[in-house]
């Protein structure tokens, strides 16, 4: 009897295994049978590229890569996977420019959608009153800049680096030095077209399907794929006056930053960064930034002191140069920086916005671009920024040679709390971004292990000191951590997921939900 039972069990198990293998191997053929305007590819080179990102630390290989030519291609694939039901393990990740840091645009064994191949509809600028541009979700911001400039217009809010896609930055927030004035990029979108996790194509805005509209903005790709976006524009400047000044006193630095973000018609861009244990700084800047007082500037030595650099920009629109120069000098006279450290340069608007790409070209030529990037981005409430700076810049971070450490305040009133993005609970909060590049195989302070350990210490300190800090471009390993990140917004996030992507097909690389929830 026992022997019979054992034999039966073995037979049953092998049947299940054969059936499972059959299911898995038949998935590509069921995908291959779909009618698409674009195409699916299964070649090793493409799949291996889709398993990499800018962070260069997480690698999950998909089973197929979709190169869509139309929105309908994306809808067909998702609907097909949705129809397979919860027993299929297939997931879908939109991949913009793949500049995530921890595998957020990857889908292990799933389908990755190469959003950059979705070029339809073509970019279309509306140049009338309240101008805007309609773009594909896979469009790069740099292309949008060049296209809109042909009409003398440009988007109002940017990221520091423009070789990122619309869908990729709108899934996070899109924050840069213009955010104090216009809010993040997600505050500058009028309309979206979305393919939801059930394969439906939906138009949404403040007025139409507003719940989906707000869910997707800052939604980490969890509720739908952004296939088209309508982005607000403003008249573009031609030139930019770009200014850097230094502070040794953190209180004076933040006081000036906070004063500036409330001044009307003052600057168009406000950021800042921290300099720890560097020497020869002023020499490094001389090639692009001219000191206002060269004699005094030459005498200034950073000598390894911790310094805070305020970075400002004032846009110049046609023949205003003289007036802008005077205005800038008046504005600067209200600030408390170290007088000999006023550095000014004037560049074209395109050169200003595309500044990080210039560094990219240099780093690529030295083989230093495709290295691991253990970045840490935090939103810190204004009331806690001094405590944070004292401990983190005083004890934890001992030098900033691995990459810039940005620090600048934004106003919460410019952010929409109906979107999915998570912010601290205060009217002003700071973005503090540790943007390190790890030197491969180094065991020193510029090595991956050291930087990751430093990030861990920063996070542990924030947690232990109850600073109310939130991660930007968040990354967690457990659902409990995600729940803590979202706090009171978790229930809403969960409910939205159950409506727009009930099988948890989308953006598995964020590791918030597992298919099926
Ligand atoms: P991907 O990495 O391809 O995707 C990111 C996430 O969005 C994934 O989960 C993906 O599935 C999802 N996604 C992608 N496209 C879509 C879509 N169409 N619809 C729905 N979901 C989608 N961020 C800032 O806010 N400010 C900065 O100044 C800034 N500077 C940066 C500088 C550099 C050099 C780098 C590498 C990153 C920077 N970032 C900045 C972060 C950047 O905004 C995010 O990493 C962004 O997600 C990258 O865009 P991407 O097109 O490469 O997205």
How many domains is the chain partitioned into structurally? Answer: 3
Q: What per-residue confidence (pLDDT) applies to 329?
A: 95
Determine the residue of 71, 92, 111, 169 to mutate for testing ligand 1's pocket, defined as the one with the most ligand atoms within 8 A of the Cβ atom: 169
178 and 295 belong to one structural domain: no
Determine the residue of 103, 171, 178 to mutate for testing ligand 1's pocket, defined as the one with the most ligand atoms within 8 A of the Cβ atom: 171
Answer whether residue 419 is part of any domain: yes
Answer whether residue 373 is part of any domain: yes
Cα-Cα end-to-end distance for the chain? 41
Domain ranges, residue 133:
124-235
392 and 266 belong to one structural domain: yes
Helical spans, DSSP H, in 286-372: 294-299, 321-332, 349-353, 355-365
Mean pLDDT estimate for the chain = 93
- pLDDT band at residue 392 using 50, 70 and 90 as cut-offs: very high
Rounded to an integer, the average pLDDT of 78-89 is: 94
Chain position carrying tokens 């209200």 = 334
What b/e string do you get for 40-71 counting C-beta neighbours within 10 Å, with b at 16 or more?
beeeeebbeebbbbbbbbbebbbbbbbbbebb
CA angle 263, 267, 269 (to 5 degrees): 120
Answer whether residue 343 is part of any domain: yes
Beta pairing partners, 111: 64, 92
Q: What is the H or E stretch that residue 484 is in?
A: helix 479-486
Q: What per-residue confidence (pLDDT) applies to 4?
A: 56
Q: Please write the tens of the pLDDT for every residue from 354-381.
A: 999 999 999 999 999 999 999 999 999 9
Q: How far apart are CA 328 and CA 423, in angstroms?
A: 32
Answer whether residue 454 is part of any domain: yes
Chain position carrying tokens 């002003």 = 428
Structure tokens at 70: 């139309």
Q: Compute the CA torsion angle 212, 218, 178, 406 (nearest 10 deg).
A: 180
Between 2 and 43, the more confident residue is 43
Answer whether residue 58 is part of any domain: no
Write down the ipTM of this complex. Answer: 0.99
Q: Please write the tens of the pLDDT for every residue from 257-275.
A: 999 999 988 999 999 999 9
33-47, 59-73, 288-302, 489-503: the lowest-pLDDT one: 288-302
286 and 397 belong to one structural domain: yes
Q: Is 99 among the residues known to form the active site?
A: yes
Residue that finishes a domain, picked among 182, 206, 235: 235
Answer whether residue 482 is part of any domain: no
Structure tokens at 383: 């009331």
Residue that finishes a domain, picked among 235, 259, 274: 235
Structure tokens at 490: 């978790």
291 and 384 belong to one structural domain: yes
Q: Please write the tens of the pLDDT for every residue from 285-301.
A: 656 788 888 888 888 88
155 and 243 belong to one structural domain: no
Residue that finishes a domain, picked among 204, 235, 266: 235
CA angle 71, 73, 78 (to 5 degrees): 100
Give the pocket of ligand 1 (CB within 6 Å): 53-54, 93-100, 104-105, 115, 137, 159-161, 164-165, 167-169, 171-176, 220-221, 225-226, 356, 473, 507, 509-510
278 and 360 belong to one structural domain: yes
Read off the CATH number of the domain in which 411 is found.
Answer: 3.40.462.10
For residues 400 and 277, the answer to whether their CB atoms sit within 8 Å is: yes
Q: Please write the tens of the pLDDT for every residue from 399-453.
A: 888 999 999 999 999 999 999 999 999 999 999 999 999 998 899 889 999 999 9
Q: What per-residue confidence (pLDDT) applies to 21?
A: 45
Statement: residue 17 has pLDDT above 60: no
- pLDDT band at residue 480 using 50, 70 and 90 as cut-offs: very high
Answer whether residue 338 is part of any domain: yes
């Amino acid at each position: 009897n026992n022997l019979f039972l054992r034999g039966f069990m073995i037979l049953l198990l092998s049947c299940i295994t054969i059936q499972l293998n059959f299911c898995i191997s038949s998935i590509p053929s069921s995908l291959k049978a779909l009618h698409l305007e674009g195409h699916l590819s299964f070649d090793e080179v493409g799949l291996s590229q889709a398993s990499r990102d800018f962070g260069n630390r997480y690698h999950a290989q998909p089973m197929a890569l979709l190169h869509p030519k139309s929105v309908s291609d994306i809808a067909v694939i998702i609907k097909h996977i949705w129809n397979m039901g919860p027993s299929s393990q297939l997931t879908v990740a939109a991949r913009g420019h793949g500049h995530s840091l921890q595998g957020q645009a990857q889908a292990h064994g799933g389908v990755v959608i190469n959003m950059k191949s979705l070029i339809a509809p073509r970019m279309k600028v509306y140049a009338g009153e309240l101008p805007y541009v309609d773009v594909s979700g896979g469009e790069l911001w740099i292309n949008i800049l060049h296209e809109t400039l042909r009409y003398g217009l440009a988007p109002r809010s940017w990221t520091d680096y423009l070789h990122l896609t619309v869908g990729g930055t709108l899934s996070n927030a899109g924050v840069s030095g213009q955010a104090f004035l216009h809010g993040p990029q997600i505050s500058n979108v009028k309309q979206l077209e979305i393919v939801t996790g059930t394969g439906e194509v939906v138009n949404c805005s403040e007025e139409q399907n507003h719940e989906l509209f707000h869910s997707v903005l800052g939604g980490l790709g969890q509720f739908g794929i952004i296939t088209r976006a309508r982005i607000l524009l403003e008249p573009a400047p031609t030139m930019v006056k770009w200014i850097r000044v230094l502070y040794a006193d953190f209180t004076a630095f933040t006081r000036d930053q906070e004063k500036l973000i409330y001044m009307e018609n003052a600057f168009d861009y406000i950021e800042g960064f921290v300099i720890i244990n560097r020497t020869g700084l002023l020499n490094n800047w001389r090639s692009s930034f001219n000191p206002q007082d060269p004699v005094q500037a030459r005498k200034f030595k950073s000598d390894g002191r911790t310094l805070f650099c305020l970075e400002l920009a004032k846009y110049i629109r046609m023949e205003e140069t003289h007036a802008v120069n005077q205005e800038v000098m008046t504005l600067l006279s209200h600030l408390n920086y170290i007088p000999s450290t006023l550095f000014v340069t004037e560049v074209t608007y395109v050169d200003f916005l595309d500044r990080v790409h210039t560094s990219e070209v240099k780093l690529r030529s030295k083989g230093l671009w495709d290295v691991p990037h253990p970045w840490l981005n935090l939103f810190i409430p204004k009331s806690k920024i001094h405590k944070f700076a004292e401990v983190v810049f005083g004890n934890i971070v001992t030098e900033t040679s691995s990459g810039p450490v940005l620090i600048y305040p934004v106003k919460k009133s410019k952010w929409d709390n109906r979107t999915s993005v998570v912010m601290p609970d205060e009217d002003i909060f700071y973005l503090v971004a540790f943007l390190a590049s790890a030197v491969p195989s180094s065991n020193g302070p510029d090595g991956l292990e050291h930087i990751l350990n430093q990030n861990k210490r920063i996070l542990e300190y924030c947690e232990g000191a109850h600073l109310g800090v939130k991660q930007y471009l968040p990354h967690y390993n457990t659902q409990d951590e995600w729940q803590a990140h979202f706090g009171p917004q978790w229930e809403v996030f969960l409910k939205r997921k159950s409506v727009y992507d009930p099988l948890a097909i989308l953006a598995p690389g964020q590791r918030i939900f597992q298919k099926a929830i």
